[in-house]
Amino acid sequence: MLDPIVNFFTRIFQWIGRGIGFAVGVILWPFMWAGRWYTQRGWILKAVLGLALLMLIGLYGYFIWNTQVWSNFNPAYAEAYRFTQPAGTTPAQPAPSATGETAGVEGEVKTCTHSAIVQVTADLIDFNVNENAWISSMILYKLGLFGMDWDRTPFLDNKASFQRGVNQAIRRTTVELVDTLGRVRGTSQIDQNLQDARGAITFDEETWYFGLRPFGPKTPTPSFYRTAANSLRAFNDRLMKCEVVFNARADNLLQFVDRIASDIGSTSDLIRDRSQNFNSGWFDTRADDRFWFAYGQLYGYYGILTAAHHDFQQILDNRGLTPLWNSVEGQLKAALAIQPLIISNGREDGWIMPTHLTTMGFYVLRVRSNLVEVRSVLDR
């Protein structure tokens, strides 16, 4: 009586086995054909093609290794800094106006010292392009997966998105250093080192050694970013030599915080749009890009705002902002503790798939909200 049932399931498993065998055959057929074609060629062509294949395998190995290994990645990296005020630091003094006269603005013009913001920003660039390979300009990243942009796949793109997020925080900071924070001593003149750093760090993120628009040899993106780091360190060296000044004034801090809040707010909008309109759980291939970009941006601002705590210590103490600033740093650190293996963009009321993207958006909004509160206190 059981024989018909056994035969039925036997046939089912046979069909399944044949189907799997057919699928494997279809996948392997191009490789088998290429192998037969290769064995029929002469030894010179075999050597050339073999060498090309080995180079391609080596390139992919190097590419995959660099996308998966995050050197010196440390969500609590800002705690390692021990900012101190060096001996011989010029005491607090009224800030010079554009005409060279003193202006009654709360704060100080620092010189013969160093800027913690400049130091951390240069270190973040070093982390992005020296301690790690810059992924976005690698030729295999630009080629994509069979022509498909890696950002549209769930593979090998998290580190690139993270690096671009860190770079966004660096770019915002270099703009503020040029516009308000750094000046040639005794004048309102923009410092050339900071100008060079801003120009270099705003360079295209995806330039390889050669390009099509226009075609020809190029200086790759990481070289420009290394130049930016060197220019920032040159500014700090000149600051120690009393040749330039750092305007640690309340109005400059207000603008700096306001610009960072706006920058984070733009990222919050991107996360909200993705989480509301594309919430397909683990099957949303762009959710990881949004998540890791936001993560990288907060990673960068964690160190930069910790450095600002040092550079603007007098303002924070005078306005009673130290507890609120500590809260901002704590929230940034809490956001960086979220490191899921696979990013899921599930529905907020879902019960199967997590909502990692919404969770990151919540932390981004918390940080922005506290920065807006800091700004409102400074604006009184």
Q: Measure the CA–CA gap between 62 and 40, rounded to whole angstroms.
A: 31
Mean of pLDDT values over 361-367: 93
Give per-residue pLDDT as tens, 269-301.
Answer: 999 888 888 877 777 778 889 999 999 999 999
pLDDT value for 96: 44
* pLDDT tops 90 at residue 128: yes
Half-sphere exposure of 260 (CA within 13 A, CB side): 32
Which range among 169-173, 259-263, 345-349 shows the weakest confidence by mean pLDDT? 345-349
Mean of pLDDT values over 62-69: 94
pTM to 2 decimal places: 0.85
Give the confidence band of 186 by pLDDT, cuts at 50, 70, 90. low
CB neighbour list of residue 97: distance below 8 Å, 6 or more residues apart: 103, 188
CA distances to 16, 156, 162, 198 from 281, rounded to whole Å, are 29, 19, 20, 39
Give per-residue pLDDT as tens, 198-251.
Answer: 999 999 999 998 876 677 788 899 999 999 999 999 999 999 999 999 999 999
Mean of pLDDT values over 183-189: 74
Say how many residues make up the chain.
380
Percent of the chain with pLDDT over 90: 56
pLDDT value for 1: 53
Contact 335, 367 (CB under 8 A): yes
Half-sphere exposure of 88 (CA within 13 A, CB side): 7
Question: What mean pLDDT, rounded, does the chain reach?
Answer: 86
Strands (E), the chain: 95-96, 102-103, 107-110, 182-184, 210-212, 215-217, 244-249
Count of CB atoms situated within 10 Å of the CB of 237: 13
Count of CB atoms situated within 10 Å of the CB of 4: 8
Higher-confidence position of 325 and 33:
325
* pLDDT tops 60 at residue 101: no
* pLDDT tops 60 at residue 99: no
pLDDT value for 104: 43
Contact 70, 135 (CB under 8 A): no
* pLDDT tops 90 at residue 5: no
Mean of pLDDT values over 256-272: 94
Strands (E), 125-269: 182-184, 210-212, 215-217, 244-249
Higher-confidence position of 17 and 5:
17
Contact 311, 116 (CB under 8 A): yes
95-96 and 102-103 beta bridge pairing: antiparallel
Farthest-apart Cα atoms in the chain, separation? 105
Higher-confidence position of 107 and 259:
259
Mean of pLDDT values over 12-17: 79
pLDDT value for 78: 95
Give the confidence band of 3 by pLDDT, cuts at 50, 70, 90. low
pLDDT value for 158: 94
* pLDDT tops 50 at residue 92: no
Contact 124, 96 (CB under 8 A): no
User: What residue type is 204 in one-letter code?
Assistant: D
Helix (H, G, I), strand (E, B) or coil at 319: coil
pLDDT value for 95: 41
* pLDDT tops 80 at residue 174: yes
* pLDDT tops 50 at residue 86: no
* pLDDT tops 80 at residue 321: yes
pLDDT value for 70: 95
User: What residue type is 285 in one-letter code?
Assistant: T
pLDDT value for 342: 85
Give per-residue pLDDT as tens, 150-162.
Answer: 888 888 999 999 9
Q: What is the DSSP letter of 14?
A: H
Q: Measure the CA–CA gap between 143 and 137, rounded to whole angstroms.
A: 10
Angle of helix 356-378 versus helix 287-311 axis, rounded to 10: 30
Mean of pLDDT values over 101-116: 72
Residue with tokens 């099957």: 283
* pLDDT tops 80 at residue 10: no
Tokens at 113, concatenated: 């010292």
